[in-house]
Amino acid sequence: MSSDNKQSLGAVTLAAIGVVYGDIGTSPLYTLRECLSGQFGFGVEPEAVYGFLSLIFWLLVLVVSLKYISYVMRADNAGEGGILTLMSLAGRNTGARATAILLIMGLTGGSFFYGEVVITPAISVLSAMEGLEIAAPALDHWIVPLSVAVLTLLFAIQKQGTGLVGKLFAPVMLLWFLVLALLGINSIIRNPQVLQALNPAWAADFFLHYKTVSFFALGAVVLAITGVEALYADMGHFGKFPIRLAWFCVVLPALVLNYFGQGALLLAHPETIKNPFFLLAPDWALIPLLILATLATVIASQAVISGVFSLTRQAVRLGYLPPMRIIHTSERESGQIYIPFINWLLYFAVLIVIVSFEHSSNLAAAYGIAVTGTMVLTSLLSCTVARKNWHWNKLTVAAILGLMLCIDLPLFSANLIKLFSGGWLPICLGLIMFLVMTTWKSERFRLLRRLNEHGNSLEAMIVSLEKAPPVRVPGTAVYMSRALKVIPFALLHNLKHNKVLHERVVLLTLRTEDAPYVHNVHRVAIEQLSPTFWRVVASYGWHETPNVEEIFQRCGLEGLNCRMSETSFFMSHESLILGQRPWYLRLRGKLFMALQRNALRAPDQFAIPPNRVIELGTQVKI
């Protein structure tokens, strides 16, 4: 490997530390405190400390290192990852019924992510600010206001893009992990017997000693692996190797050292359970550590916010959410986007959560159901990919799935008891997003079917218009066509009301391919249907944003020259009327109508010059 390649690998690995590991990297702020806080009926006892440390260590090894880093990250779509990518891959080689089930699983996982993303910024920033209770107890009543102020600033600067802020992410997070390791090492040296918790026998003894209570305690242990989905979701930004390198060389050692350092402190001084993370530090370092922890939690929140922007764009391009305004904040990085509606919706949700729950311990009760639910779904989808796409042996896949579910299902079951103590929050948010996504997809399909039920043949109509044309006017007319062999509604209405046709007609269809990106060579396919009718099919990946001017520039390179100054874009605008339905489908129809009214209009969605657009309205009963 050349020195340049080494340098670029180092730079990408450093960037991965800054973005990918923010959430899981800030878990030491609250995980061990929640495990041993007394909520499960036992206090800071040596058996409990050793048991929890052993469970945390082996969860990091088995779930993060083996399941996600080594296995799940093998499933990529042109380098991209994430639960929707996994859903797309899993459904490629399955029957219609199985594909429908996989689709529901993928959308449920995506919906869980929306539920989780509201809690992550709130619990991270609150847990950092709670360091004030140790550093300056008189200021503890400022914890919630300061948390709100920090998050308000974070959401306000989202429109500036993450490029400039991102340059600070990597060094700050690298410093954070180094501090985690140093604090842990310092404490372990004073009490080295804590290292015996590396033996998995302590985890087994924990279950034997505490019996039923130990099962419920798994709901707190899972806090150590929150953010694990980010490893897979951010794979497209950094690549597999830098993410793996960052985990094994920096993140995993730092986390293990810090958790065991907290354990060593608790064995020697059980009273430090109030906040074992901040009490690891000497008094002179409390304020600097508080500032660093705040920066680290802001970065963790930023990573999650960026993740929800990316997931939303994927859902929009795949047809599960209505078109919305997406702003690219970087000229070079397509992944750096800002979605104003999602940003401020998320901000107000986080604000309500912080003011309502007030303490990170209260939020910890809400955290976990969404994470573990997504983990179960990831196991099922990834094993479907292994069997159907990679053609692995059936017994091998069954064994892998069984081993993963032996971990995932107990974690998920243990978190279900949190349902009434805050766990309802991510579940409700997830259900709302699932309802919105399935409603938009199904009702949009119903609308398109109504628009296309006139039964006229496109080929027959073109032949008829060429034989007996109406009045032809100069210029080019572009009609957006959702299906290749269906007459665009706007074309029918233009002929019906205006009784004219342009001298050249282009039927433009935009396709979203089952891939994150489409190479420019395959961007545009042109077909001449008759002397004056052309069909243009433009293909985009779900990670890309269509642009009509770019499409016609490529058409010009391939022989179909369209001057924008002489081109008119005809769009149909549907006014929806709700037909007779059962009450539950009526509510769903009203939700769809509300989404349709607020969806981004096609001219804005496809960057069409506003002065070249003609909209023809029609009423449609759905």
Q: How confident is the model at residue 170 (pLDDT cuts 50, 70, 90)?
A: confident
Q: What is the pLDDT of residues 438-487, one digit of tens each?
A: 999 999 888 888 777 765 678 888 888 888 888 999 989 999 887 777 78
253: buried, middle or exposed (CB in 10 Å: 19+, 13-18, 0-12)?
Answer: middle
Whether the per-residue pLDDT at 254 is higher than 50: the answer is yes
The mean pLDDT value for 166-190 works out to 90
Residue 237 has pLDDT above 80, yes or no: no
Residue indicated by tokens 């689709």: 103
> Between 96-129 and 424-451, two packed helices, what is the crossing angle to 10 degrees?
140
Q: Look up tokens 């074309």; give the residue.
A: 491
Provide, for the chain, the percentages of residues in helix, strand and coil under a 3-state DSSP scheme, each rounded to the nearest 5.
70, 10, 20
pTM of the model: 0.84
User: In this structure, which amino acid lies at residue 233?
Assistant: A
Say which residues have a Cβ less than 8 Å from residue 254's Cβ, sequence separation at least 6: 25, 177, 178, 180, 181, 184
3-state secondary structure 445-461: HHHHHHHCCCCCCHHHH
Give pLDDT tens digits for 118-160: 888 888 888 888 888 887 887 778 889 999 999 998 888 887 7
Give the closest residue to 376 by CA, choosing from 86, 74, 61, 40: 86
pLDDT value, residue 41: 80
The two tokens of residue 125 are 């920033």
Residues near 495 by Cβ (< 8 Å), separated by ≥ 6? Answer: 470, 501
- In single-letter form, the type of residue at position 20 comes to V
The enclosing H or E element of 534 equals: strand 533-540
Domain ranges of the chain: 3-442, 455-621
Which stretch, 223-232, 388-397, 411-420, 576-585, has highest mean pLDDT?
A: 388-397
Domain 3-442: give its CATH architecture. Up-down Bundle (1.20)
Q: Which of 379, 387, 335, 359 is nearest to 545 (CA)?
A: 335
pLDDT digits (tens, 9 = 90+) for 396-405: 999 999 999 9
Report the DSSP pairing between strands 471-480 and 337-338. unpaired
The rounded distance, in Å, linking the Cα atoms of 545 and 607 is 9
Both structure tokens of 58 = 């082996």
Residues of the chain with pLDDT > 90, as a percent, come to 40
Residue with tokens 């490029």: 163
Given a cut of 80, is residue 541 above it in pLDDT?
yes
